[in-house]
A and B are shown apart, each in its own frame.
Chain A
Amino acid sequence: MPPTTTRRTRRRTLRQILGGVRRRARRAAGRARRIWRRSLQLQVVTSTLVISVIVVVVLGTFLSDQINNSVIERRQQSAASDASADRLRIADALSRHEDDQSKPAEAGKTVPPDPLDEVMDAIIGSGGDGSKKRYEVLILNVAEPGQSRASGNVTPADVPPALRQKLQRQVEKFIDTPQRFTDRIQFAGETQPRQTLVIGAVISAYGGYEVYHFFPFTDEEQMLSNVRLAIVVVGFGLVLLLAAIAYLVTRQVVSPVRLARQAAERLAAGKLDERLKVRGEDDLARLATSFNEMAANLALKIHQLEELSQVQRQFVSDVSHELRTPLTTVRMAADLLYDAREDFEPMASRSAELMQAQLERFESMLADLLEISRYDAGAATLDLDSVDLRDVVLRAIADSEALAERHSTRFELRLPNEPCMAEIDNRRVERILRNLLFNAIEHGEGRDIVVTVGADRDAVAVAVRDHGIGLKGGEDTLVFDRFWRADPSRARTIGGTGLGLAISREDATLHGGWLQAWGQPGEGSQFRLTLPRRAGIDLKGSPLPLVPPEIEMRRTWRGQMTPVLLPATGDGGAHGES
C-alpha cells in the first residue's frame, strides 16, 4: 500500500523535525540556563529589568489614569457649565417667545427677530458679535413646527438614542436633570467618527424643548494620547536606564570577583605566582590583598614541602646508590658461599641459600627504588617502537609461566586475530604486564587468569583478570600506592618489592595511558592497561571494559529483576570510563 507508506514516511519526517526542534530548543534552553547560572551580572540585570518593568507599568498605568480622569473631569465640568449657561439663555429666549406669540401681530409693524434665532446667534457666535464656540448646539422640538435649531453640522440623528430615551423617561417623571453621554459620533460630511460628549436636557416649561450640546473631545483625546505616548517612551527609557545602571554597578562588583575566580583557577592549576591587582582600598581591594597573601603563603608552604620531598627523594636515591657498592661486594661473597654450599654443613648450606634469595630480593628492591627515584627526578624517558601488543603479552606470559606453574595457575588468553600495533616502549610495557601477571598469580589463589587484548582505532588495551579474593571498596586506587599491602599480615610469597604496581602506573602514565584496577570482594579483580596507538595522542576511552563483562551482565540482570538489591559499590573506576 504505497499511500500508507508515504504517509508514514511523512509522519516520521514531521516527527523528526519536531524532535529536532525540541532538541534544539532544549539545548538552547540549557545553554541559556547555564549562562544564567554562571553570570551574576546577567542575574542582577535581568532581575532589575523585570522589577523595573513591573514598577514602570504599574506607575505608568496609575499616572495615565490620573491624568485621564482629571483632564476629562475638568472638560466635563466646563462643558456642563457652558451647557447650563446656554440652557438658561435659551429658557429666557423661549419665555420671550411665548410672550411674543401671545401678543396679536400688528399690521405694518416691523416684526422682531425670532428670539430662538437670536439666542442661537448669541450662543454660537453666528450673529457676528459673539466669538466662535468649540461646540455645537441642537434645540429640538418635534411637537412644534419650525421650532428646532441646530448649529454646524449636527442633526437630530446624531443624538445617542439612549440619551434621548433617558430624557424622555425623565420628562414622564417630571425630572429635568441634565444627562451626559460620551460616544463616537460621525457627523454629516465627516469621514470618521469623533469622540464627543453630548449633554442633553429638557426645558419642559415651554413645551418640551430638548437641548443638546455636542462637545468634541478631539483635542483632549489627542492630548491624552500624547501623554500616554510620552509615558510609554519615558517608561521604556527608564527601564533601559535602570538596566544600564544595574549593568554598570554589577560590572564594577563582578569584574574583580571574576578576576579573582580566574586567578584562583590558575592558582589551582599550579601557577603559584598568580596574583591579583590591588586598586584602591575598598572591600574588593581587601579581598585581592587577602587572596594575594593566601597565594603567597600557599606557594611558600608548597615550596617548602617540595624541597622536603626533594630532599627525601634525593636521600632515597643516594641511599640506593650507596647501598649498591657494598651490596655488590656482599653479593660476590654470597655467590661464592652459595656456589660452595654443597660443601657446607646442611645448616650453613641452608643459610647460604637463604642469604642468596634475600640478596636477590634486596637487589631487585634496590633496582625498583632506583627506578622510582628516576621517575621522581623526572629522568625517565621512553624508547618507543612500533610493536604488536600480542607479542609483548605472549612474552610476558612466557616469563610468568614458571611462577604460574608453581601456583598451579593457568592462563586463559583472549587475543584478537589482527595485530594490535602500537608505539610503545617494549621493555616498560613488558614490565607492566609482568607485574600485573605476577600480581594476579599471587592473589589468584590458583584459579585461572584471563588475559584479554583489545584494540580500537585510537588505543590498545590489555586486561588481566584474576578470580582471587578481590579488592574492597577504595582499594582500587590504593593498590598503586608505594609499599601498599591489602593484608599486612599476609606474607609476600613471590618476593614482590611493593613498588611493582606503582612503577607500572608511572610507566603507563609516561606512555600517556591508563592503568586502572577493578575488584570486588570474592569476585576477584581486573587490571586494565590502556595505551594510545601513537604517542602523544590523548586517550578518550578504552577498547576493553574495566568491569568484566560477566559481572556487568549479572549486575544488569539483577537491576532489572530486583532493583532494591543493587550493590552499593560502583565499578571503582578511578578515571572517566566510556
Chain B
Amino acid sequence: MARANRLCAAAAAAVLALSGCAVIPVGGPFPIEEAGSGDSVTVPFQRLVAVEPQRGWSAQQVVEGLQAAMAAYADDPGILPKYLTEEARRVWKADGPVTVIDNGFRFDDVVENKEKKETIVTILGTKIAQINEDDTYVPVDPADDNKVSRAITLVKDRNGDYRVNLLPQGLLLTDADVRRAYRPTNLYYLNGTAAGTHEPDRLVADRVRLRIKATESFAETVVERVIQGPTSALQGAVGNEFPAGARVLSIRSSEDRVIINLAGPFRPSDTFREGLEAQLRASLSVNGLANGRSLEIQVEGEPFFSTGPLIVPANLPERWLAVEDRQVFYTSKGAVHLLGNDGEGRPLAGPAGQPGETYSGFAVSKDRDRVAARSTEGGIWVTRHAADGRWQQSIPGEKLTDPSWHRDGSLWTYDQQSGSVLRSYPSVSRGPEHVAAPALQGLDVTSLRMSRDGVRVAVLVGKKQVQVGALAGGGAGAMLSNFQTLISAEGEDEIRDIAWSDGEHLLVLVRTKAGQVVKEINVGDGETLQLPTTSKPLEHLAAQGDVILATTEDGNEILEYGRDKQTWAPKPATAVEKPIFALG
C-alpha cells in the first residue's frame, strides 16, 4: 500500500514537473483583456503608381500614362509634368473640380495633323460626377447631357517620343481611380452654435469624398477636414467647435486610446466641450476609425484643459445621432391617431383627435405637444395635444404647403401665392414672419420639409424636382440657402411625396409610368438606394431612422419596409390616410 502511495506521489510529481516544463502551458479558461485590432486610425487602401513615360510609347499609351499620372497626382505630383511639354507645363493647372468619368471610357481614333506635327487623342466617356474643391461629390444629373470628350494634343519631343502639348485644365479621373483613392466620409458638425439661441443638440452629417493620403493616417485627414469646416451645402448653417486656424499635429493609436494632438487658437474655457467631443467622436467612429477607443485631445502635446486632459469616451452619447421619438402617428378620417404597440390606434387627446374634414396635412411637433394642420378655411392651424386644446390659426394664407415643424418649435410653410417661406412660433404666439429664400423665388414649391436636425430643408418643386438647402443664420437673419437639386423626375414621372428619415437621408416617392419607386437618397453625395417596389400604389411616406412607413392609395393601410427582408409588410391599422412621425 505504502509502495503504491509512493508510486502515485512520484507520478504526480513527474506530471507536475513535465507540465511545468511544457513549452506552451496548457489550461484555462482564463479571462483575457479585450485588445484593439491593431492600428485603428488608418484604413487599408491601394494606390495607382504612376510611371514615367517610356521610350517608344504610342500616343495612346502616353495618354493612358498621363491619366494614370493624374490618378496618382496627389501622391506623386512629380510624374505628371514629365508627360507634358514645357508649354503645357506652364499652362496646365491641376486645380479646380475633379471630373469623374465612368470606367468604360474609350479612346477615339488617333488624329494626326501632319502640318502642325500634332497628334490628337480624344478620350470619350460619360461624366458621372465631379468632386469639388470643398470635397463634395456631386453626381451628374442623369437627365443632363453627360457625355465627355477630352481632346489631348501631343507633339513629339527631340527624342521622337510623344509628349502632351495641350490638355484641358484640371484632373480627369475614372470611377475606379476615385474608388481606389477616395473614401466617402461623413464629417459631423453641430446644428447651431453654442453662442446662438439654442444650444446645439444634434450632429449634422456633411458628406464628402476624402482622398487617402499615403503620408498620413486617414484619421488625420478626416480630423483636418472637419476642422476646415463644412462644405458649401452647409456653409453658415452649422456650427463647428474647432477654431479657424487649428491643425492636426499627430494622431497616435494605442491599445485603448487614440491621442489626437492638435494645435491652434483653442480657448478651452469658451469651447462647447460636449459639442467638440461629439464632432470628433462621430467623425471618426462613423467612418470606422478609432472604434472602441477613447480619444485624448491634446493641444501641442499638452492636456487640453489646464486642469487635466480632455478624454472623449469610446461611445457617442445617444442624443446626438440616435432616433429621438419612434412613436408612429397616422391620420384617419381627418383625425390624428397614435399607433399602439398592439397595433391598435387611438385618437389623440384634444381637437386633433376629432374626426372631420376641415384639417389635413397634419404635422406633430418635437415633443408631441402640438399638432399643426392645414385647414380648408385657409391657413395653418395649431392645437395643443391636450383635451382642452383648441385649433388656433398660426399662419394665415390661401395656398400654403403642408406645415413642417422645426425642432426649435417653429412652424414652417411655403406660401405659393406670394412665393415666400413663412415661419411662426405657436408656443409663443409669434409670427408669422417671412424667411428669405432667394433660391425658391418663382418656383412652384409644393412641399417644404424641415429635417429633424433643423439644418437642412427639402423642397419639392412642382412634381418634378427635389431641392435640398440649409437654414443659415438664426433669428431675424435666418435664410434658406445653398439649394441644390437632389433629384429630378424624368419624362412623365412624378414625385409624389418626400420625407426625411434622418438628417442626411431623404425618401422620395416617384410615380413612374411603369409603377412607382421609393428612393432613399443621401443628400450629401446623392448616393441613392432604390427600395424594392410593392404592387400596391403608395400615396404618402414617413420615416424615422430605419423605419420607413407608407400608406397605400387605395387600400388605406400602413406598409412598413423591412430592411432585412427588403419587403413591404402591412401593419394592423386600417383606414389610414397618412403616416406621421414627430418632425421630419
Q: Residues of A at under 8 Å CB distance from B?
A: 105, 109-111, 113-114, 117, 120-121, 124-126, 130, 132-133, 138-146, 148-153, 155-156, 188-189
* Chain B residues whose C-beta falls within 8 Å of the C-beta of A156 in the assembled complex: 49, 51
B54 to chain A, nearest CB (A): 6
> What 11 new A-B contacts, CB under 8 Å, besides A125-B44, A145-B51?
A105-B104, A117-B180, A124-B45, A133-B44, A142-B51, A142-B54, A145-B61, A149-B49, A150-B47, A155-B214, A189-B215
Compute the total of residue contacts between A and B using a CB distance below 8 Å: 89
Contact at B38–A132, with CB atoms within 8 Å? yes
Question: Quick check: is B46 within 8 A (CB to CB) of the other chain?
Answer: yes
Question: Quick check: is B363 within 8 A (CB to CB) of the other chain?
Answer: no
* Chain A residues whose C-beta falls within 8 Å of the C-beta of B106 in the assembled complex: 105
> Closest A-chain residue to B106, C-beta based?
A105
Contact at A189–B46, with CB atoms within 8 Å? no
* Chain A residues whose C-beta falls within 8 Å of the C-beta of B44 in the assembled complex: 124-126, 130, 132-133, 151-152
Question: Quick check: is B48 within 8 A (CB to CB) of the other chain?
Answer: yes
A33 to B453, CA, bound (A): 90
> Which 9 pairs show the lowest CB-CB distances between chains A and B?
A189-B215, A145-B65, A146-B68, A148-B49, A111-B104, A153-B214, A145-B64, A126-B44, A120-B46
A140 to B54, CA, bound (A): 14
> Closest A-chain residue to B47, C-beta based?
A150
Contact at A189–B216, with CB atoms within 8 Å? yes
* Chain B residues whose C-beta falls within 8 Å of the C-beta of A148 in the assembled complex: 48-51, 68
* Chain B residues whose C-beta falls within 8 Å of the C-beta of A140 in the assembled complex: 49, 51
Contact at B104–A149, with CB atoms within 8 Å? no
A291 to chain B, nearest CB (A): 46
A172 to chain B, nearest CB (A): 18
A126 to B71, CA, bound (A): 17
Instruction: Pick the most buried of B39, B51, B64, B216: most chain A CB atoms within 10 A of its CB.
Output: B51
A520 to chain B, nearest CB (A): 83
Query: How many residues of chain B are within 8 Å of chain A by beta carbon?
Result: 36
A139 to B68, CA, bound (A): 14
Contact at B214–A121, with CB atoms within 8 Å? no
Contact at A113–B103, with CB atoms within 8 Å? yes
Query: Considering the complex, which residues of chain B in the window 289-337 have a beta carbon less than 8 Å from any beta carbon of chain A?
Result: none
A143 to B51, CA, bound (A): 8
A159 to chain B, nearest CB (A): 11
Question: Quick check: is B43 within 8 A (CB to CB) of the other chain?
Answer: yes
* Chain B residues whose C-beta falls within 8 Å of the C-beta of A141 in the assembled complex: 51
Given contacts A109-B104, A111-B104, contact A150 B46 (CB under 8 A): yes
Contact at B50–A188, with CB atoms within 8 Å? no
Contact at B180–A151, with CB atoms within 8 Å? no
B475 to chain A, nearest CB (A): 45
Given contacts A153-B214, A153-B215, A189-B216, contact A121 B102 (CB under 8 A): no
* Chain B residues whose C-beta falls within 8 Å of the C-beta of A149 in the assembled complex: 46-49
* Chain B residues whose C-beta falls within 8 Å of the C-beta of A188 in the assembled complex: 214-215
* Chain A residues whose C-beta falls within 8 Å of the C-beta of B176 in the assembled complex: 113-114, 117
Query: Considering the complex, which residues of chain B in the window 45-69 have a beta carbon less than 8 Å from any beta carbon of chain A?
Result: 45-54, 57, 61-62, 64-68
B228 to chain A, nearest CB (A): 20
Contact at B104–A145, with CB atoms within 8 Å? no
A9 to chain B, nearest CB (A): 59
Question: Quick check: is B274 within 8 A (CB to CB) of the other chain?
Answer: no
> Closest A-chain residue to B216, C-beta based?
A189
* Chain B residues whose C-beta falls within 8 Å of the C-beta of A125 in the assembled complex: 44
Identify 11 residue pairs between A and B in the complex whose beta-carbon atoms are under 8 Å apart, listed by A's number: A117-B180, A138-B49, A146-B65, A148-B48, A148-B49, A148-B51, A150-B46, A151-B45, A152-B214, A155-B76, A188-B214
* Chain B residues whose C-beta falls within 8 Å of the C-beta of A145 in the assembled complex: 51, 53, 57, 61-62, 64-68
> Closest A-chain residue to B51, C-beta based?
A142
**Other-chain contact of B43, A109, A126, A142, A146 (Cβ < 8 Å):** A126
B83 to chain A, nearest CB (A): 10
A301 to B533, CA, bound (A): 130
A434 to B20, CA, bound (A): 94
**Other-chain contact of A150, B43, B49, B104 (Cβ < 8 Å):** B49
A150 to chain B, nearest CB (A): 5
**Other-chain contact of A189, B47, B104, B214 (Cβ < 8 Å):** B214
**Other-chain contact of B46, A111, A143, A144, A151 (Cβ < 8 Å):** A151
* Chain A residues whose C-beta falls within 8 Å of the C-beta of B66 in the assembled complex: 145
A144 to B48, CA, bound (A): 13
> Closest B-chain residue to A148, C-beta based?
B49
B102 to chain A, nearest CB (A): 7
| Chain B 97-108 interface 0/1 with A at a Cβ cutoff of 8 Å (1 = within) | 000001110100
Query: Considering the complex, which residues of chain B in the window 63-99 have a beta carbon less than 8 Å from any beta carbon of chain A?
Result: 64-68, 71, 76
A133 to B46, CA, bound (A): 12
A193 to chain B, nearest CB (A): 15
A126 to B46, CA, bound (A): 7
A144 to B60, CA, bound (A): 11
* Chain A residues whose C-beta falls within 8 Å of the C-beta of B37 in the assembled complex: 132
A153 to B52, CA, bound (A): 19
A162 to chain B, nearest CB (A): 20
A146 to B47, CA, bound (A): 11
A117 to B62, CA, bound (A): 21
A111 to B126, CA, bound (A): 12
> Closest B-chain residue to A125, C-beta based?
B44
Contact at A121–B46, with CB atoms within 8 Å? yes
| Chain B 13-55 interface 0/1 with A at a Cβ cutoff of 8 Å (1 = within) | 0000000000000000000000001110001111111111110
* Chain A residues whose C-beta falls within 8 Å of the C-beta of B71 in the assembled complex: 146
B577 to chain A, nearest CB (A): 42
Contact at A124–B46, with CB atoms within 8 Å? yes
Contact at B65–A151, with CB atoms within 8 Å? no
* Chain B residues whose C-beta falls within 8 Å of the C-beta of A114 in the assembled complex: 103, 176
A133 to B176, CA, bound (A): 22
A156 to B179, CA, bound (A): 22
* Chain A residues whose C-beta falls within 8 Å of the C-beta of B57 in the assembled complex: 145
B50 to chain A, nearest CB (A): 7
